Homo-oligomer: A and B are copies of this chain.
Amino acid sequence: MTKDDLRRRYEEASQWPLIGLAVLFVAAYAWGVLRPDLPGWLLTTLHVVTVIAWPVFLADYVFRLALAEHRWQFVRRNWIDGLAVVLPLLRPLRILSLVRVARVIDRRLTTSLHGRVAAYVTLTASLVVFMASLAELDAERGDPDATITTFGDALWWAFTTITTVGYGDRYPVTAEGRLVAGMLMVAGIALLGTVTAAVASWFVGRVADAARTEDMAARAEDDAADAAADEALRAELRTLTEEVRRLRAELAGEGRAGLSDRG
């Protein structure tokens, strides 16, 4: 069994436990942010859960990297996983750990490219907006100049940001909050780009299909012409063969006639 086979086996086995951990992480993070009035021991527990998630994801990534035959290729193909492991060093960015879940779900979907993209974009955007709202609220709440002080405000702000509308009735004022906002804007650009690209490729596909249908017709015509040319060639060959056969028959007849003549 090669190392890559081993890696694939491990990835399959670890998939669901890791998704479970990611969900737990999100739940603990969300609960801790949304209910800051919980008793201290519970807040501590929730905090511990969010802190523990990271080393597990790091171990997972390092283990898979160690098992990869082509390391550089592995890093390039799994760059989202890599980012998700590195970035959580900054507290609010731990949200990216969730991307792995989305990727697993994606692998399960077996519909068309456009359907998969629609599902993937909707899921990722929703997750990113939800987690960014939490992180933003967590970062801003304590600041005296903050305009984002409730989860409703944070959600509304995240939505106006990822769509690049940006009314400016709510905006982050802390450095941490602006960092989250910057990532959300980048996500917005990516979102816009992906939606546009999916629609565009669907369009181009429609137009290209029409062109290909025409091409196919042209090729079918070509094939028919080829077949006709072949048939003509074979007809000439048949005539020739017939001629040669008749020649042989005549010669044979004559030969026998000659023989009998002489006999």
Contact = CB atoms under 8 A, between A and B. Distances in A.
A17 interface: no
Contacts of A203: 113, 117, 197-198, 200-201
A208 interface: yes
A241 B247 CA distance: 12
A185 interface: yes
Contacts of A190: 195, 199
Contact of A185 (B165, B222, B232, B250): B165
A78 interface: no
A52 to B, nearest CB: 32
A23 interface: no
Given A196-B193, A201-B200, A262-B261, A113 B206 contact: yes
Interface of A, helix, strand, loop or mixed by DSSP: helix
Contacts of A211: 208, 212
A167 interface: yes
Contacts of A216: 218
A248 interface: yes
A106 interface: no
Contacts of A219: 218, 222
A217 interface: no
Interface stretch (A33-41, A56-64, A94-102, A153-161): A153-161
Given A208-B211, A240-B240, A248-B247, A166 B160 contact: yes
Q: Report how many copies the assembly holds.
A: 4
A105 interface: no
A73 to B, nearest CB: 12
Interface in A89-118: 113, 117
A197 B206 contact: no
A222 B165 CA distance: 53
Contact of A192 (B189, B226, B241, B245): B189
Nearest to A153: B178
A243 B250 CA distance: 14
Interface string A140-183: 00000000000010001001110111111101000100100110
